[in-house]
């Protein structure tokens, strides 16, 4: 007969084995789409101005990612692309605590004891993505494109990095909301599709203008748009370059929240608060976070919500999905930097 002590050891051994498998799968879950792109990231970092900032303490359980290039309507320069990728790196590392280690119940006790020493970013459940000065993002910074990226080789590098960054962003076990004031054009529209939900103001317009530039989406937004609104609607949106507004956005299932002008970020925060389950508990306990069960409640809440997001995002981390993105990348590269594309970009005002 197996003794109680040996049975206990056997159970612990099995739990450790399961945990190791779970960790391996989740680490693979956060893997990149195109492999190591450090060299490309550093090349692009030297191009243009603007910045991408991230405030992990914007609200309890919610971080705020802001695009800042107001002179170009928050268009993404190479520098901003690199910084966005940096932030995704950081978030991947931050979420490892709750999505990897806390899936291992054997180690939970030690982690709970040390929770107060952890960076508060470990309580993140959601992210709001927005732009500065009441506009979202006008896509690629054409002043940078005209001077540096308007060649097939550099267009390929840009596409590789942005596809990879937005793919990894979508794989994060964090619920994301795009808070769209003003316009989201071209690559800005692609960025909107990388979020789980979309909150737009009454006067906002989201427009896939790539066809006007004689290209297709190059940052993975074509595939994501198809997933959101279906193939026929995606063809209409991308093929005609007609804008998505509050009215047709709701009808298409593309828009989730409509906000008064200037209130998108606040409404996005209210929307995400429904997923931050520890907020109500902490408020009942006085909001000081000193209750014996508060930290445990936070960890359980974070773990559950992140687990649900992992469950959903897993459907977009398979060979078929990745192959579609690679095909989209190849089509984009076959068009970018060609005469029609170059002419269209050069004839567009900086």
- Residue-wise pLDDT tens digits, 214-226: 999 999 999 999 9
Closest alpha carbon to 192 in 133, 116, 243, 263: 243
pLDDT band at 186 (very low <50, low <70, confident <90, very high): very high
DSSP SS3 for 3: coil
Between CA 16 and CA 330 the distance in angstroms is 42
Could you tell me which residues come within 8 angstroms of residue 242 by beta carbon, excluding any fewer than 6 positions away? 207, 236
The tokens of 345 are what?
Answer: 């970009």
Is pTM beyond 0.85 here?
Answer: no
The fold adopted by the segment(s) 35-347 is: 2-enoyl-CoA Hydratase; Chain A, domain 1 (3.90.226)
Helices (H), 77-131: 78-99, 108-113
Task: Yes or no: say if 266 and 259 are a contact pair by the CB < 8 Å rule.
Answer: yes
Give how far Cα 58 sits from Cα of 35, 120, 128, 135, 293, Å: 32, 11, 9, 19, 24
Q: Of 32-41, 154-163, 194-203, which gets the smallest average pLDDT? A: 32-41
The tokens of 73 are what?
Answer: 């309507």
Task: Yes or no: say if 24 and 99 are a contact pair by the CB < 8 Å rule.
Answer: no
99: buried, middle or exposed (CB in 10 Å: 19+, 13-18, 0-12)? Answer: buried
State phi, psi for 160 to the nearest 5 degrees. Answer: -60, -50
Over residues 86-95, mean pLDDT: 92
Task: Yes or no: say if 216 and 165 are a contact pair by the CB < 8 Å rule.
Answer: no
Task: Yes or no: say if 61 and 278 are a contact pair by the CB < 8 Å rule.
Answer: yes
In tens, the pLDDT along 302-315 reads 888 999 999 999 99
Highest mean pLDDT among 94-108, 161-175, 268-282: 161-175
In tens, the pLDDT along 126-181 reads 999 999 999 999 999 999 999 999 999 999 999 999 999 999 999 999 999 999 99
Q: Strand 175-180 relative to strand 126-131: parallel, antiparallel, unpaired?
A: parallel
DSSP string, 48-74: ---EEEEEEEEETTEEEEEEE-GGGTT
Task: Yes or no: say if 47 and 72 are a contact pair by the CB < 8 Å rule.
Answer: no
Give how far Cα 312 sits from Cα of 30, 103, 324, Å: 13, 17, 18
DSSP SS3 for 130: strand
DSSP SS3 for 126: strand
Helices (H), 241-318: 246-252, 264-273, 278-284, 294-313
Between CA 224 and CA 192 the distance in angstroms is 10
Decide which of 50 and 122 is more confident.
50
The tokens of 267 are what?
Answer: 């409404």
- Does residue 117 carry a pLDDT above 60? no
- Does residue 16 carry a pLDDT above 90? no
- pLDDT value at residue 175: 96
pLDDT band at 233 (very low <50, low <70, confident <90, very high): very high
Task: Yes or no: say if 125 and 305 are a contact pair by the CB < 8 Å rule.
Answer: yes
């Amino acid at each position: 007969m197996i003794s109680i002590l040996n049975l206990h050891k056997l159970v612990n051994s099995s739990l450790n084995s399961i945990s190791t498998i779970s960790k391996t799968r989740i680490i693979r879950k956060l893997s990149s789409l195109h492999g190591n792109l450090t060299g490309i990231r550093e090349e692009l970092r030297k191009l243009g101005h603007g910045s991408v900032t991230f405030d992990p303490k914007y609200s309890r359980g919610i971080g705020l990612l802001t695009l800042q290039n107001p002179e170009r309507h928050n268009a993404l320069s190479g520098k901003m692309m690199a910084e966005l990728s940096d932030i995704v790196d950081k978030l991947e590392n931050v979420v490892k605590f709750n999505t990897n280690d806390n899936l291992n119940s054997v180690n939970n006790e030690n982690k709970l004891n040390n929770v107060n020493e952890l960076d508060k970013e470990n309580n993140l459940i959601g992210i709001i993505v927005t732009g500065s000065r009441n506009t979202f993002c006008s896509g690629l910074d054409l002043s940078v494109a005209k001077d540096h990226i308007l060649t097939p080789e550099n267009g390929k590098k840009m596409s590789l990095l942005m596809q990879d960054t937005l793919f990894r962003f979508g794989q994060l076990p964090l619920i994301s909301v795009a808070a769209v004031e003003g316009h989201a054009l071209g690559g800005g529209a692609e960025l909107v599709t990388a979020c789980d939900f979309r909150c737009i103001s009454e006067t906002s317009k989201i427009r896939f203008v790539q066809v006007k530039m004689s290209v297709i989406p190059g940052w993975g937004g074509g595939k994501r748009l198809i997933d959101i609104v279906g193939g026929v609607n995606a063809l209409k949106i991308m093929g005609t370059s007609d804008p998505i507004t509050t009215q047709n956005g709701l009808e298409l299932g593309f828009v989730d929240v409509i906000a008064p002008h200037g209130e998108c970020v606040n409404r996005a925060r209210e929307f995400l608060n429904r997923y931050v389950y520890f907020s109500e508990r902490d408020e009942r306990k006085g909001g000081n976070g000193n209750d014996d069960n508060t930290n445990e409640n936070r960890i359980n809440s974070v773990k559950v919500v992140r687990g649900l997001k992992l469950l959903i995002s897993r459907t977009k981390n398979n060979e078929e999905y990745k192959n579609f993105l690679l095909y989209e990348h190849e089509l984009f590269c076959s068009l970018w930097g060609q005469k029609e594309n170059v002419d269209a970009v050069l004839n567009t005002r900086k």
